[in-house]
């Protein structure tokens, strides 16, 4: 690993057009479950990929809204981890470095990354299902997130919560995420694809590379001739495309790469 780490650091130090592409794994060490982790509590009865669909919301809005409010509470009670902070360090060291995430949490932003491209939307951008897709706000602070928060501040997971109604048109409010079967935001996908196509170094961190069209982004970088560094403790669908495959967690490996690329004595 050390040789690979030093090689990765050398690529990062000399790269000019860097893209950092992240998935749920970068938030795992912040206590935010990845997408395919066994859902904890009552959610273990459900399959995330079935819940994250328009059909599931249409069939049972209280169940799906409750799931997202539980996830939003998990994120609100989480902190960015050293992996998120290392990504921010890269954005500060490499002018024009681009951060693209599949995640719907706000931990990259809370770690200080200036511009984050969200391919799958955000837990913090609800909108209504009406024709106007009006942006919505969450209930006031007194009711913030799921009701009946336990003393630890965690919501009662598995809790069904009726979604609010749009103040503009009265339609149901839905999570501001991209569900399975829904189109990704065109501007985000274009930014991600164009950045990957122009990159000379592409870091893919904490993603299984299984969800499309997002999983196409690393492949665009490969076709463009970029060096690809993967950080993941497990094998993934992207193993074949990697220049360097660092088997380890984001919170440990990313800070190590940054420290090796820009040793403290050279820190500006
Ligand atoms: C669409 C928001 C069409 C919601 C999510 C080919 C082309 C196009 C589409 C498809 C296709 N084949 C199949 C499809 C359909 C589908 C799809 O890809 N299905 C998969 C399951 C095969 N795609 C879609 O439906 C997309 N829409 O195609 O629409 C269309 C076109 C035009 C007009 C109308 C329609 C929409 C996909 C978006 C779905 N929404 N999220 C929500 O979050 O609730 S995706 C969801 O999965 C999350 O965003 C998650 O981030 C994402 C990807 O998963 P990962 O991030 O990789 O997370 P995962 O849990 O899988 O893996 C975690 C990794 O971390 C693991 O590798 C693990 O080892 C690692 N790890 C763990 N701990 C750590 C770690 N790594 C580092 N450090 C650690 N500590």
Nearest CA owner, ligand 1 atom 21? 211
Residues 83 and 256: their CA atoms lie apart, in Å, by: 10
Residues 44 and 144: their CA atoms lie apart, in Å, by: 24
Which atom of ligand 1 is the closest one to the Cα of 209? 57
120 given a catalytic annotation = yes
Amino acid 264: pLDDT: 85
Say yes or no to pLDDT of 112 above 70.
yes
| Average of per-residue pLDDT values in the chain | 91
**24-83 pLDDT, tens digit each:** 999 999 999 887 776 666 677 788 889 999 999 999 999 999 999 999 999 999 999 999
**169-181 pLDDT, tens digit each:** 999 999 999 999 9
Residues 78 and 80: their CA atoms lie apart, in Å, by: 7
C-alpha 207 – ligand 1 centre gap (Å): 8
End-to-end CA distance of the chain: 27
Residues 108, 75: contact at Cβ < 8 Å? Answer: no
How many beta carbons lie within 10 A of that of residue 13, not counting itself?
Answer: 16
């Amino acid at each position: 690993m050390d040789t690979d780490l030093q090689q990765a650091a050398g690529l990062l130090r000399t790269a000019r057009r860097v893209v950092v592409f992240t998935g749920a794994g970068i938030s795992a060490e912040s206590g935010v479950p990845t997408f395919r982790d066994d859902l904890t509590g009552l959610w273990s009865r459900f399959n995330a990929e079935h819940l994250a669909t328009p059909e599931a919301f249409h069939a049972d809005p209280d169940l799906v809204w409750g799931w997202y409010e539980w996830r939003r509470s998990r994120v609100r009670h989480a902190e960015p981890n050293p992996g998120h902070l290392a990504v921010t360090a890269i954005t500060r060291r490499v002018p024009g470095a681009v951060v693209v995430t599949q995640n719907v949490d706000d931990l990259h932003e809370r770690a200080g990354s200036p511009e984050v491209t969200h391919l799958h939307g955000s837990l913090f951008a609800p909108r209504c299902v009406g024709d106007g897709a009006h942006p919505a706000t969450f209930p006031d602070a007194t009711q913030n997130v799921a009701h009946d928060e336990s003393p630890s501040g965690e919501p009662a997971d598995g809790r069904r919560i009726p979604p609010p109604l749009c103040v503009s048109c009265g339609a149901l409010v839905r999570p501001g995420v991209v569900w399975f079967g829904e189109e990704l935001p065109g501007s985000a996908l274009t930014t991600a694809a164009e950045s990957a196509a122009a990159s000379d170094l592409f870091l893919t961190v904490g993603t299984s590379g299984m969800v499309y069209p997002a999983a196409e982004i690393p492949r665009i970088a490969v076709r463009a001739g970029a060096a690809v560094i993967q950080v993941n403790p497990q094998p993934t669908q992207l193993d074949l495309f990697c220049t360097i495959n660092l088997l380890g967690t984001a919170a440990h490996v990313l800070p190590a790469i940054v420290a090796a690329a820009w040793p403290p004595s050279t820190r500006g």
